Structure 1
Amino acid sequence: MTALSGLRAVRRPVRRPTMADVAAEAHVSIKTVSRVVNRGPGVRPDTAERVRAAIERLGFRTTGPEARSRVHTVGLVVETLAGPFSAQIAAAVERETRLHGYNLITVSAERSAAPDRRLLHDLAARCVDGLIVVPAGEAARTESQVAGSGIPLVYLGRPARGAADAVLSDNQGGVRGAVEHLVAHGHRHIGFLGGAPPRWTARQRRDAFVHTHQALGLPGTPRVAMGPHTRDSLVHALRTWSRPTTSATVTAVIAGDNRVTLLALYVLRGLTRPVSLVGYDDIELADLIEPSMTVVHQDPAALGQKAAQQLFSRLRGDRTPPQTFVLPTRLIVRASSRRRPEADQEPGRNPER
């Protein structure tokens, strides 16, 4: 008996072929395989035939509910990786994917709709099992990049036109709560510093401010200044609104997003007449700023978790019509929203910077 006769053969699990295997076999890119599988345009007939032959030889399954070989990887596309909001979303999605035994690929569109669409196409071609997208734009083409591929898609933060799941924050409820809070503290002349109007969230929050202003019967026309803002544009808006020449002097402002909030903090420090502030999105050290800052708080971790849960529901076979989930916001009340007596006093010369 030889030294090897006592060893038993170990049966290894058979790995199912992937698009990458087909691409290697046919000497083409994964993108080309994806186009052939999904009957997309732009593939020469002889190349398509070579890909189909490789699919047949390898036994890659291209029909039925398990059309795509699972790679246990999810793609997440965010606007930017630089901000804490996106970082908290990514961390929550990653925790959920790990619970399901999946890996996560996170990429940034750098606030551009064109890279957004390109990244979606590339991720789909790499055969990820599902996608969560914080859309930088609202173009209908966004979803078409993965339509017909069988890849579940969940939008987060903003919807995109077309049939897909979406997990949103209650933008209108957040602004409405901020206005009602300021009114309860004696403010009647309130301004709104919004984000750039092309952004869906900016329009939602602006519309909520105007509607609430009118519904509460506040005096005058709603004071609204939409972005994109610079420090100079905010100085101009706040200098105009806080002139003591009329009884309609603004005593409080609501910032429409965290970028505007940070700019407003700089500008408000240079005003002689105090103006109260409610920011949008909580920021680090908000309770240490003087005065500490009242904010409308979205929960990015909850948004990311819900988006991931909905994606995995689809991966488990949920074929119900697309759903939209709206998560509530929370007003964190601190000192910056209080009406201060000196706001009603006639100031001297106003040395805004």
Structure 2
Amino acid sequence: MSEAVPGSETSAAAPPAPRERPTMREVAALSGVSLKTVSRVVNEVPTVAPELVAKVHAAMDRLGFRPNLAASNLRRADGRTHTVGLLVEDVGNPFSAAVHRAVEDYAARHGVLVLSSSLDEDPERERRMVRALVARRVDGLIVVPASTDHRYLVAEQEAGTAVVFVDRLPTPLIGDAVVTDNREAAKAGVEHLIAAGHRRIAYLGDTDSLMTARERFAGYRDAMRAAESKGYVVDPADVIHGLRTTKAADQAAAALFSRRDAPTALFTSQNLVTIGAVEALHRMGLHHRVAIVGFDDFPLAQLLDPGVTVLAQQPAHMGRIAAELLFARLEGDRSPAEVHVIPSLLMRRGSGEIPGPE
């Protein structure tokens, strides 16, 4: 297993020993119905009375029961299905795609199939996809979480399902995680623009309900506040949150730089926001006048005019570390949970080096 960056690991209590999964017979006993009725509810037979369905579902939730949808011929002698689940923000996003490929490559070398799905930053979809994967008896899960409450996974952990989180920490759950140095990296990116002579630096950000977005905005504020004594200020009109698509970022950047008192530099919090902002600057003919540093790399960023300066996360490295952690747990590693912090890399390509006004 790869080591974490020194000083970046935190420890917690060792995961609980696996317990046997509850059976349909136990569900029948708790709900006060027959085993046949439980079977019909599990198989969604429409003729079961609604009040009986409600009783069975309540008992299933209380016991943490999950139906086994995996075909018996997929079971191996070791009791595993040799499948793992991977839940990412969006498989079409370059960051998610790189994580996916790294996990898939590592799993393939171990003869394990990866079942993946996009979450679209939807907490309910996250819970639904986790239930679907656990119902298929995946041996473990790697999750880029959309939810801020992961207590629903406690029953799965207790039943022996290994879970590793990527990009964001689980809350309040204890579990292995692989994350980026979001706050410090964002601070370094804004300081890079300050060093180039910019005093008015705008911020275009993702949904601020996301931990990563909050951390990156905090890094932006840290850098600007540290420079307050030199006359640097943050105009609330220069800060825009909630940008989820390139189109939204394009529109926000166009409005921002159409103002008479427009800032001279821009920090963007994720790759789709960066792409949208760059499109707006090129269309407006400002791409050689307005400096930009973006969080997250994206394909062909270095080929634009100018190349886009980014804080490049290492998603492939993060995905590989997450896979190593997961497979170690599957092999019986009972050590305390760890958080691995992977540093971002400042890639100077031209856009972030455009000098500020005299």
- Say whether 1:153 aligns with 2:168: no
Q: Which residue in the other structure is 1:120 paired with?
A: 130
Q: Which of 78, 88, 91 pairs up with 2:98?
A: 88
Unaligned runs of 5+ in 1: 1-32, 52-67, 345-353
- Say whether 1:235 aligns with 2:235: no
Q: Which residue in the other structure is 2:3 paired with?
A: none
Alpha-carbon shift at residue 283 of structure 1 (Å): 1.4
Residues 294-303 or 228-237, more deviating: 228-237
Contact 1:172 1:208 in 2 (8 A): yes
What SS class does the counterpart of residue 283 from structure 1 fall into?
Answer: coil
* Structure-to-structure mapping, 1:128-147, within 5 angstroms: 128-144=138-154, 146-147=156-157
User: What is the rounded CA distance, in whole Å, between the counterparts of 2:225 and 2:102 in structure 1?
Assistant: 38
User: What is the rounded CA distance, in whole Å, between the counterparts of 2:252 and 2:151 in structure 1?
Assistant: 34
Alpha-carbon shift at residue 99 of structure 1 (Å): 2.5
- Say whether 1:180 aligns with 2:195: no
Residues 90-99 or 139-148, more deviating: 139-148
Alpha-carbon shift at residue 304 of structure 1 (Å): 0.5
Q: Which residue in the other structure is 2:353 paired with?
A: 338
Structure with more contact order per residue of length (Cα contacts < 8 Å, sep ≥ 6): 2
Rate the CA distance shift 1:116–1:145 in 2: closer, same or farther, 3 A: farther
User: What is the rounded CA distance, in whole Å, between the counterparts of 2:146 and 2:25 in structure 1?
Assistant: 26
Q: Which residue in the other structure is 1:297 paired with?
A: 312
Alpha-carbon shift at residue 46 of structure 1 (Å): 3.3
Q: Which residue in the other structure is 2:234 paired with?
A: 221
Unaligned runs of 5+ in 2: 1-19, 40-77
- Say whether 1:266 aligns with 2:253: no
Number of residue pairs matched? 289
Q: Which of 244, 250, 253 pairs up with 2:266?
A: 253
Q: Which residue in the other structure is 2:72 paired with?
A: none
Contact 2:27 2:38 in 1 (8 A): no
Rate the CA distance shift 1:40–1:187 in 2: closer, same or farther, 3 A: farther
- Say whether 1:212 aligns with 2:227: no
Q: Which residue in the other structure is 1:64 paired with?
A: none
- Say whether 1:103 aligns with 2:113: yes
Q: Which residue in the other structure is 2:46 paired with?
A: none
Alpha-carbon shift at residue 268 of structure 1 (Å): 1.6
Rg bigger for which structure? 1
Q: Match of 1:47, as an amino acid? A: L
User: What is the rounded CA distance, in whole Å, between the counterparts of 2:227 and 2:100 in structure 1?
Assistant: 38
**Normalised TM-score (structure 2):** 0.73
Rate the CA distance shift 1:262–1:34 in 2: closer, same or farther, 3 A: same
Alpha-carbon shift at residue 142 of structure 1 (Å): 4.5
Alpha-carbon shift at residue 145 of structure 1 (Å): 5.8
Q: Which of 43, 46, 55 pairs up with 2:34?
A: 46
Contact 1:197 1:226 in 2 (8 A): yes
% same residue: 34
Alpha-carbon shift at residue 228 of structure 1 (Å): 2.5
- Say whether 1:189 aligns with 2:208: no
User: What is the rounded CA distance, in whole Å, between the counterparts of 1:38 and 1:226 in structure 2?
Assistant: 50
Rate the CA distance shift 1:220–1:281 in 2: closer, same or farther, 3 A: same
User: What is the rounded CA distance, in whole Å, between the counterparts of 1:333 and 1:174 in structure 2?
Assistant: 14
Q: Which residue in the other structure is 1:347 paired with?
A: none
Q: Match of 1:36, as an amino acid? A: T
Q: Which residue in the other structure is 1:279 paired with?
A: 294
Give CA-to-partner distance per residue, 1:66-101, whole Å, 9 cap, x none: xx8212221111122222221111110011112223
User: What is the rounded CA distance, in whole Å, between the counterparts of 1:258 and 1:289 in structure 2?
Assistant: 14
Q: Which residue in the other structure is 1:27 paired with?
A: none
Rate the CA distance shift 1:46–1:38 in 2: closer, same or farther, 3 A: closer
Contact 1:70 1:129 in 2 (8 A): yes
Residues 183-192 or 114-123, more deviating: 183-192
Alpha-carbon shift at residue 35 of structure 1 (Å): 4.4
Q: Which of 307, 326, 335 pairs up with 2:341?
A: 326
Contact 1:191 1:253 in 2 (8 A): yes
Q: Match of 1:234, as an amino acid? A: A
